[in-house]
């Protein structure tokens, strides 16, 4: 994996050099974003201390993006995603985004390749603290942020916008094709400080492949969000419900069905130009049919310090508790989270 990382980095560097040599500086831009933390984790499974209990430093995400503008209509983007994988105890590199864009108007922007999906990035913008935690559907693996396919988005007027995507369904880490495509969409509205959105997903999650296992079930998801975003404060509620939303459930017999839902409430208040307090609480029922007693209760609270444009530090306490009959997994984490953008 280390060898693959070196090769991947070298390829990215060569691609960057090629773009830079063939275009003016005004046409090509480079950006970066890092999510990191230094925290203490206290993790227990049925009252017994378990991994990853301990104190340490983590780089959760490191994105490096290259944008190139060919004309007012056409552009392209490549964004790499570096992350640590505990399964192999090594760093992995993926393409988070790799697309060509055609902007026909503000009402129609088309992208081909891997790029932001309609729901999760929108919810992250409303929440405002992605570097501290994924939003509720993404955190609990009932949504993802990017996938390969055909994407369209636009602003219909000053109040309404939309995004739709026909995608492979396996997420950006797996660009392989299947026999059918999945579909995700969002319709959103903004009225001054008030924001509203609904969204949905349907498909086989990339599991319907030639010669593979049967996929009698279809994964579906419904999303809704309402948020107030003012000059100094924000408050929002996000909800999702899902049916058969996993690779295993899609391939299970038609008689096997499972449902899930969850709600997240978040808010923040800017005390001064550099200090903001924030909090979030959510409850998820990840298996309402097959394991109806199972619940995931999560909260965080903290204070954010903007050290400089593009640099933030947040002192945060997190609690995540997953319970079912006879079992309990509890995680408490406290420390410093940071986001660096350029």
Q: Are 17 and 305 in contact (CB under 8 A)?
A: no
Mean pLDDT (the chain, rounded): 93
Q: What is the DSSP letter of 324?
A: E
The yes-or-no verdict on residue 6 having pLDDT over 50 is no
Size of the chain in residues:
342
The yes-or-no verdict on residue 1 having pLDDT over 70 is no
pLDDT score of 7: 41
**pLDDT tens digits along 154-183:** 999 999 999 999 999 999 999 988 899 999
Range of the domain at 201: 2-341
Quote the number of domains for the chain: 1
Q: Indicate whether this model's pTM tops 0.75.
A: yes
The yes-or-no verdict on residue 267 having pLDDT over 90 is yes
**pLDDT tier at 19, thresholds 50, 70, 90:** low
Q: What is the DSSP letter of 137?
A: H
Contacts 24+ apart (CB under 8 A), 51-56: 52/86
**pLDDT tens digits along 108-124:** 999 999 999 999 999 99
pLDDT score of 2: 43
pLDDT score of 15: 52
Q: Are 175 and 168 in contact (CB under 8 A)?
A: yes
Buried b (16+ CB within 10 A) or exposed e, 246-277: bbebbbbeeeeebbbbbbbbbbbebeeeeebe
Listed residue (123, 105, 54) closest to 335, CA to CA: 54
Q: Which residue has the higher pLDDT, 318 or 17?
A: 318
Residues 224-244: what's their mean pLDDT? Answer: 99
Q: What is the DSSP letter of 310?
A: T
SS3 state at 123: helix
Please provide the distance, in angstroms rounded to a whole number, between the alpha carbons at the two ends of the chain.
27
Q: Which residue has the higher pLDDT, 9 or 48?
A: 48
- CATH code at position 214: 2.40.160.10
Residues 291-319: what's their mean pLDDT? Answer: 98
Torsion of CA 152, 220, 142, 47, to 10 degrees: 180
CA distances from 223 to 114, 238, 257, 279, 309 (A): 22, 8, 20, 21, 32
Residues 201-226: what's their mean pLDDT? Answer: 96
Buried b (16+ CB within 10 A) or exposed e, 95-114: bbbbbebeeeeeeebebebb
């Amino acid at each position: 994996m280390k060898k693959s990382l070196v090769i991947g980095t070298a390829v990215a560097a060569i691609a960057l050099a090629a773009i830079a040599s063939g275009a003016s500086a005004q046409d090509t831009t480079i950006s970066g974003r890092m999510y990191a933390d230094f925290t203490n984790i206290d993790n227990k499974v049925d009252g017994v201390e378990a991994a990853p209990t301990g104190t340490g430093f983590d780089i959760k995400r490191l994105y490096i993006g290259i944008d190139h503008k060919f004309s007012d209509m056409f552009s392209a983007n490549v964004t790499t995603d570096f992350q640590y994988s505990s399964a192999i105890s090594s760093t992995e590199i993926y393409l988070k985004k790799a697309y060509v864009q055609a902007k026909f108007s503000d009402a129609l922007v088309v992208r081909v390749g891997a790029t932001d999906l309609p729901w999760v990035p929108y919810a992250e913008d409303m929440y405002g603290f992605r570097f501290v935690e994924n939003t509720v559907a993404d955190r609990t693996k009932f949504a993802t942020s990017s996938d390969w396919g055909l994407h369209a988005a636009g602003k219909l007027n000053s109040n309404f916008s939309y995004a739709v995507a026909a995608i492979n369904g396996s997420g950006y880490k797996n660009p392989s094709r299947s026999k059918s495509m999945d579909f995700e969409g969002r319709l959103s509205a903004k009225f001054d400080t008030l924001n509203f959105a609904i969204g949905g997903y349907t498909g086989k999650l990339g599991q319907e492949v030639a010669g593979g296992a049967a996929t009698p079930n279809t994964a579906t998801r419904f999303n809704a969000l309402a948020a107030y975003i003012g000059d100094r404060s924000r408050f929002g509620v996000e909800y999702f419900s899902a049916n058969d939303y996993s690779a295993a459930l899609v391939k299970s017999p038609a008689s096997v069905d499972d449902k899930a839902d969850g709600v997240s409430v978040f808010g923040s208040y800017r005390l001064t130009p550099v200090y903001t307090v924030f909090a979030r609480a959510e409850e998820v029922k990840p298996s309402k049919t097959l394991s109806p007693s199972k619940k995931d209760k999560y909260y965080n609270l903290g204070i954010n310090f903007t050290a400089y444009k593009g640099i933030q530090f947040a002192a945060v306490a997190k609690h995540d508790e997953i319970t079912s009959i006879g079992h309990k997994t509890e995680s408490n984490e406290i420390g410093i989270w940071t986001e660096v953008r350029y």
